[in-house]
Amino acid sequence: MIKKILIAPARFIEAFLDRVIAFAGGLVFMQLPSFMVQYTQRLGGHLEELGLIIKKYKLAAEESGKSLNEYISLHLNSGVKEFISSGKLMEENLERFDYLNQAYNSLHNSSGINKLLTFIKNIDITIAKETWKDFTASISLSYESIIYCLAGIVFFMTIYLLVKKLIIFSVKHIKRR
């Protein structure tokens, strides 16, 4: 009799908990498209700013009658510590521009699940942290968001069920002792 009295609230709590977990999973995963959009906008801003800086490098190179590569080499081979440092900085900015440009184009031109995989493959941690810091959650009713929502429900429920089975297994194992 007491066992039946205790089981009813436990079943209610479990049913409530699994719905909360499913809702949380859907809500969390539903944010991925929004985060990727905000990340892409920030990535584009970084790319545009680097493009402006590189444009200034090119103008300075043209004014001295050199190509950009010759201009950078001139700095790197000058023998003057400060010029070598600025040459390295220019090289790093060009490399970063190429990297960000490739990442932006890959992300911008992908869709569906491929967009998520491209995002993961090309993520720039610094930009992702900046995006997260200013991230504004949103709920979109696009097909993409709904698919992510369903994936979140499946993922969170799978984790929940695995943890639940592990707990049940552990309790049964302890009782056998």
pLDDT tens sequence across 33-57: 999 999 999 999 999 999 999 999 9
Domain ranges of the chain: 33-138, 139-172
Q: For 65, which DSSP code?
A: T
Threshold 0.75, pTM exceeds: yes
Cα–Cα dist 5/10, whole Å: 9
- pLDDT the model gives residue 31: 93
Q: For 8, which DSSP code?
A: H
Cα–Cα dist 33/138, whole Å: 9
Which of 30, 52, 29, 41 minimizes the C-alpha distance to 107?
Answer: 41
Q: Identify the band that residue 14 occupies on the pLDDT scale cut at 50, 70 and 90.
A: confident
pLDDT above 90: percentage of residues in the chain: 73
Residue with tokens 């999973």: 25
How many residues are there in the chain? 177
- pLDDT the model gives residue 1: 64
